[in-house]
Amino acid sequence: MNEGVEWALHSCLNLTWVDDGQAVTAAKLAAFYELPAAYLNKQLQALARAGILTSTSGPRGGFRLARRPEDITVMDVVAAIEGPEEAFRCEEILRQGPGGHEDVDYRTTCVISQSMRRAELAWRRELSRQTIADLKATVESRFPYTPDSTRSWFANLRT
Amino acid sequence: MNEGVEWALHSCLNLTWVDDGQAVTAAKLAAFYELPAAYLNKQLQALARAGILTSTSGPRGGFRLARRPEDITVMDVVAAIEGPEEAFRCEEILRQGPGGHEDVDYRTTCVISQSMRRAELAWRRELSRQTIADLKATVESRFPYTPDSTRSWFANLRT
DNA sequence: ATAACCTGGATATTACACATCCAGGATCGC
DNA sequence: GCGATCCTGGATGTGTAATATCCAGGTTAT
C-alpha cells in the first residue's frame, strides 16, 4: 500500500483544523511532517482530481477540503491515492491450465478470485464507514489541544 | 499483493484432488498452469515452512497438504506467502510533526493508523472464514468434473 | 550408486513506488 | 501591465522490492 495514503489522510485532517475558507499550500502541508513537498503535491493533486480537495492558484492559493468532513470517507481518500485497482489482482491462471478457455472472464468465474474479492469488499466497507469527521472527533476527544495547536502552527509558519 | 498468493491457493486446491498420500513435485504443480517452476518452488517452500504443506525429498517426493483442507484457511495461505507485515504500514509521520515524541509508538496511538488497522482486521477475518475445504466444495458443486479431470491430468503427465 | 527431488543462498531482471524538476498557466497585489 | 505566488502535468531520475533463475548441497527410493 502506497505511503501517500498516510500523508493524504493526515493532510485532510490538518485541513479540518485551519480557519475556514483558508487555503493551505502544498509546501506548508509538507512542512508540517517534513515531507518532500513536490511529491506530496502530487498526492494532493490526486485528491483534487477526485473531488476531495479544491485547489486555488496564485498568491493566497493552495488546497482546502471540497466537502464537509462528514462527507469524506477514509475509503474516498484511499481510492483517490491508490487508484481503482484491487489489491489482489487475479491473473486468471486458470486460462493457462488444462481446460482453460480464451474467452472466459476468470476474474468473475474463479472461486479463489471471488474469495479474495469478498475479503477486499469487507476491507472497503470498513474504510467507508469511517469519515474524516469521525477521525477528527476521535482525535479531538483524546487530544483536546490538537485543533488549537495545529491551527496556530500553520498560522505562525514562516516559509 | 503478491502474485504467488494466487499460485499457492490454486496449488493447494489442486493438491486436494490428487490421490491421497500422493506427493506432487513442484515441477508438476507448475506445469499445470505453465508457471515458472523454480519460482513456484519458492512459494511452496514458504507453505512448507508455514506448516501448510509437507515436503518429501527424493524420488516419488514432492509436496502434499500437511493438514485436512478443513483446517487450512485462505488467510493461512495468504499469510505464508505475504509474510507478517500489514498492507498499510504506518510510517509514524506524527513523530516528525510538531509535538512529535521520539519515544511514542504512533502505530498504536495514531487514529489514522487505528482506522486502517481496523479495516485490515475485517479483511483478515473474512479470509479466515474461508477454508480450502470451502473453496473445494464450491468448485465441485459448480464444476463437478474438476476433481476427476484434475486427478487424471496429474496422473497422465509426462515430464 | 544413481537419479529424482527438495533446500537455501546467490544472483540477475523488471516493475513500480518514491522523488525531483521544469515549463506553462492561473491569480493576486501593486 | 508586471512580478510574485502557487497549482498543473509531463518528463525524468532513483531506489527498492517483486519476479525469476541458477547452482551446490542434502535426502531418499530403487
Q: What is the pLDDT of residue B45?
A: 97
Contact A55, A61 (CB under 8 A): yes
Kindly tell me the burial class for residue A58, based on how many C-beta atoms sit within 10 Å of its own C-beta (0-12, 13-18, 19 or more).
exposed
> What would you measure as the largest C-alpha separation in chain B, in angstroms?
68
pLDDT, residue A100, reads 86
pLDDT digits (tens, 9 = 90+) for B95-108: 999 988 989 999 99
Mutate to test the interface with A, among B9, B76, B91, B112 (most CBs of A within 10 A): B112
Tens-place pLDDT, residues B8-49: 999 999 999 998 879 999 999 999 999 999 999 999 999 999
> CA of A16 vs C1' of C24, distance in Å?
31
- Top CATH class of A4-84+131-156 equals mainly alpha
**How far: A36 CA to D22 C1' (Å)?**
40
Q: Residues of A with CB below 8 A from B119's CB?
A: 74, 123-124, 126-127
Q: What is the mean pLDDT of residues B139-144?
A: 97
Subunit contact A93:B142, Cβ cutoff 8 A: no
Task: Say how far apart CA A134 and CA A9 lie, in whole Å.
Answer: 12
Q: Which of A87, A94, A149 sits opposite B87 (nearest CB)?
A: A87
Pairwise pLDDT comparison (A72 vs B84), residue with the higher score = A72
- A156 pLDDT above the threshold of 90: no
Protein residue at shortest CA distance from C1' of C6: B57
Looking at beta carbons, which residues of chain B come within 8 Å of A122? Answer: 122-123, 125-126
B94 Cα to chain A: minimum distance (Å): 7
pLDDT of residue A84: 87
pLDDT tens string A27-74: 999 999 999 999 999 999 999 999 999 999 999 999 999 999 999 999
The band of B158, judged by pLDDT with boundaries at 50, 70 and 90, is: low
pLDDT, mean of residues A3-22: 94
Contacts of residue B38, defined as CB under 8 A and 6 or more positions apart, other chains included, come to: none
What pLDDT does residue A158 have?
A: 65
Res. B159 pLDDT band, cuts 50 70 90: low
Instruction: With CA atoms as reference, report the closest residue to B80 among B116, B52, B41, B42.
Output: B52
User: How does the average pLDDT of chain B come out, rounded?
Assistant: 95
Taking residues B63-76, report their average pLDDT.
Answer: 97
Exposure string over A5-18, b if 16+ CB within 10 A, otherwise e: bbbbbbbbbbbbbb
